[in-house]
Amino acid sequence: MNTLILYANYKSPSFNSAIRDMLGDTLNKNGHEVVIRDLYNIRFNPVLSRKDLESIDENIYPIEITEEQKFIKRADIVFLVYPIWWSGMPAILKGYIERVFLEGFAFKTLNGKATPLLSNKKVMIFNTLGTKGFFNTSKKIDALNFITEQCIFEYCGMEVVEHKYFEGVKTVDETTRQGYLETVRKIAEQL
């Protein structure tokens, strides 16, 4: 299976990088092709500029966008690994989605209705939370899930098959961290 890991955390090492590495190693050991796109390391420009929009209107796509779209097209499953910042994804990942998941690639609009174009893709999301207890109600988690899962990925036809949150990663003990990583390993092995 072709897998793509979209990684959005500037810190290395971090618990996010441990999740990324656990996913990559486990998938690789189980015979899957693994591509990792570390958005900070590749210096992905998250700004959908006026110049981008004007060229896209003329059906001329910037090369960095078409390159990333090739990774998405090739992947059977896309993993996202990122921390929750201000109740959402880091700006670099939000910008990636805005620049890469364009109309005509991720969806098309006909008679005012969106039709998904990435229906053959699956998504797994792994989020870290620096604190414990803030996202302690189903209402708060449901809000995060709704925006990310339904309003972004399912809108494009992608099936979200897993969404895990690991809370308090800055303060939990090593046993808890290892338990989190074991959860990641088990999920990756089930593919």
pLDDT of residue 88: 86
Domain boundaries of the chain, sorted by first residue: 2-189
Three-class DSSP category at 160: strand
pLDDT at 45: 96
**Which pLDDT score, from 0 to 100, does residue 141 have?**
77
Local confidence band at 136 (pLDDT 50, 70, 90 cut-offs):
low
- pTM of the predicted model, to two decimals? 0.93
CB atoms inside a 10 Å sphere around CB 61: 17
pLDDT, one tens digit per residue, over 4-16 is: 999 999 988 999 9
Nearest to 37 by CA among 89, 104, 82: 82
Averaged pLDDT score across all residues of the chain:
93
The secondary structure of 78-140, three-state, reads EEEEEECECCECCHHHHHHHHHHCCECCCEEEECCEEEECCCCCEEEEEEECCCCCCCCCHHH
pLDDT digits (tens, 9 = 90+) for 143-186: 888 999 999 999 999 999 999 999 888 888 999 999 999 999 99
CATH of segment(s) 2-189: 3.40.50.360
